[in-house]
């Protein structure tokens, strides 16, 4: 038996070990961030298990109905929200939480407060739940600006102020993608160990991609630059090959593919929705943060996405994100339009 090889195989880089390693680079750190992250990871494991069991447990689409025990059953997105709120509050490291599910921000009670603000979408892509398509949790983390009393302005900061961002995708495997500002790493849940293991170290998005990802059903309402870009993807005029279209309609899954394979994901403005559909704080910012950290770009049609300053917690913005060169082309089309 080759014990040395066995030892190597069991020397796994778990997400906790990875974050503790990162922590040693900040000697002033007291481990608060590591604790916060371990609570987020726990929330993701819980939701992953609930998503996997959803068909069996009849958790899907039954909000408001009662099960045989007479208990009220919850929809997965409602359940996921409760899981994350509880996990984040009980970490003792958060002060303000903004969830896609809640109209108002949650201010953590003083006895359980810490210095971090977390913005999150507990279960993004919920229109896909009933058909088993990959869905996910998206989150971003800010530090409270100053003082002890948390204020709404603490979560209305530009995305470039985020300390960390990530998502967890509940798909054929459960994948956790994280950036704490020094690159992007991907971890896969080993169900037999119940641990996220580093499987995709230092993810870099290809500089140019072969895929575009957009809901083309909205094409009749697009603005000029978006329409021109998609036309170029299909009928390139520079002799290059046409791009392939891939659109799942679940942001985490579409962005995950874009990050790994390259290309561009776009949810543009259109005549019906001048600000697009996706939410700035817990969709656009975390995904833009990850894209930039992986060497790509994120653009709103007017500016770098991470420079946006949200006015309200549920603001929306158009977004074009992905491979550096592909987003550069989109920026050039918007710049040309401005000059007209």
Positions in the binding site for ligand FDP (CB under 6 A): 124-128, 215, 249-251, 254, 277-278, 283
Structure token digits, residue 340: 């007209």
* C-alpha–C-alpha distance, residues 67 and 65, integer Å: 7
Contact 167, 136 (CB under 8 A): yes
User: How far is 213 from 168, CA to CA, in rounded Å?
Assistant: 20
With respect to ligand FDP, which residue has the nearer C-beta, 150 or 296? 296
* Burial category of 65 from C-beta neighbours within 10 Å (exposed 0-12, middle 13-18, buried 19 and up): exposed
Q: Crossing angle for the helix pair 251-261 and 285-293, nearest 10 degrees?
A: 10
Nearer to ligand FDP, 96 or 278 (CB): 278
Q: Measured from the CB of residue 286, what is the shortest distance to ligand FDP in angstroms?
A: 12
DSSP run (H or E) holding 291: helix 285-293
Spatial separation of the C-alpha atoms in residues 153 and 13, rounded to whole Å: 37
Cβ 267 to ligand FDP shortest distance, Å: 6
Smallest gap from residue 253 Cβ to ligand FDP (A): 8
Minimum distance between the CB of residue 145 and ligand FDP, rounded to whole angstroms?
27
* Token couple for 31: 């481990």
Output the smallest distance, CB 27 to ligand FDP, in A: 39
Q: What is the CA radius of gyration of the chain?
A: 21
| CB nearer to ligand FDP: pick between 94 and 250 | 250
For the beta carbon of residue 34, count every other beta carbon within 10 angstroms. 15
- Please, which residue, 116 or 282, has the CB nearer to ligand FDP? 282
Chain-centroid distance of CA 146 in Å reads 26
Shortest separation between residue 122's beta carbon and ligand FDP, angstroms: 11
Is the Cβ of residue 126 or residue 317 nearer to ligand FDP in the bound state?
126
CB of 216 to ligand FDP, least distance (A): 9
Q: Of the two residues 22 and 283, which places its CB atom closer to ligand FDP in the complex?
A: 283
User: Cβ closer to ligand FDP: 33 or 285?
Assistant: 285
Q: Which of these, 312, 305, 268, lies nearest to 287 by C-alpha position?
A: 305
Nearest residue to 226 via CA among 298, 333, 328: 333
Of 28, 16, 36, 38, which is closest to residue 115 (Cα–Cα)?
36
Rounded to 5°, the CA angle 7-13-15 comes to: 150
Token pair for 88: 């984040």
3-state class of 52 per DSSP?
helix
Nearer to ligand FDP, 77 or 154 (CB): 77
Task: Closer to ligand FDP by CB, 154 or 254: give it.
Answer: 254
Q: Shortest approach of ligand FDP to residue 289 CB, angstroms?
A: 17
Do 277 and 238 contact (CB within 8 A), yes or no?
no
Supply the minimum distance, in Å, between the C-beta of residue 265 and ligand FDP: 8
């Amino acid at each position: 038996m080759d014990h040395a090889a066995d030892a190597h195989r069991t020397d796994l880089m778990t997400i906790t070990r990875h974050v503790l390693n990162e922590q040693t680079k900040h000697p002033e750190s007291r481990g608060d961030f590591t604790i916060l992250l371990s609570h987020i990871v726990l929330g993701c494991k819980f939701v992953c298990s609930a998503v996997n069991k959803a068909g069996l447990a009849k958790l899907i689409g039954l909000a408001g109905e009662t099960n045989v025990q007479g208990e009220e059953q919850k929809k997965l997105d409602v359940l996921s929200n409760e899981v994350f709120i509880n996990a984040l509050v009980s970490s003792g490291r958060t002060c303000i939480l903004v969830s896609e599910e809640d109209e108002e921000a949650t201010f953590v009670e003083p006895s359980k407060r810490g210095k971090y603000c977390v913005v999150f979408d507990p279960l993004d892509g919920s229109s896909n739940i009933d058909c088993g398509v990959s869905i996910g949790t998206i989150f971003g983390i800010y530090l409270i600006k100053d003082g002890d009393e948390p204020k709404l302005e603490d979560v209305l900061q530009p995305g470039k102020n985020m300390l960390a961002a990530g998502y967890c995708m509940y798909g054929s495997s459960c994948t956790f993608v994280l950036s704490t500002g020094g690159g992007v790493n991907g971890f896969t849940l080993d169900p037999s160990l119940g641990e996220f293991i580093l499987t995709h170290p230092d993810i870099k998005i290809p500089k140019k991609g072969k895929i575009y990802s957009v809901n083309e059903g909205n094409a009749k309402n697009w603005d000029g630059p978006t329409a021109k870009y998609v036309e170029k993807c299909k009928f390139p005029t520079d002799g290059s090959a046409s791009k392939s279209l891939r659109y799942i309609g679940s942001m985490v899954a579409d962005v995950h593919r874009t990050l790994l394979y390259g290309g561009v994901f776009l949810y543009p403005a259109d005549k019906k929705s001048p600000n697009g559909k996706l939410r700035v704080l817990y969709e656009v910012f975390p995904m833009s943060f990850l894209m930039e950290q992986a060497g790509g770009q994120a653009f709103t049609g007017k500016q770098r996405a991470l420079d946006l300053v949200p006015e309200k917690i549920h603001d929306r913005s158009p977004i074009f994100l992905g491979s550096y060169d592909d987003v550069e082309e989109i920026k050039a089309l918007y710049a040309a339009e401005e000059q007209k």
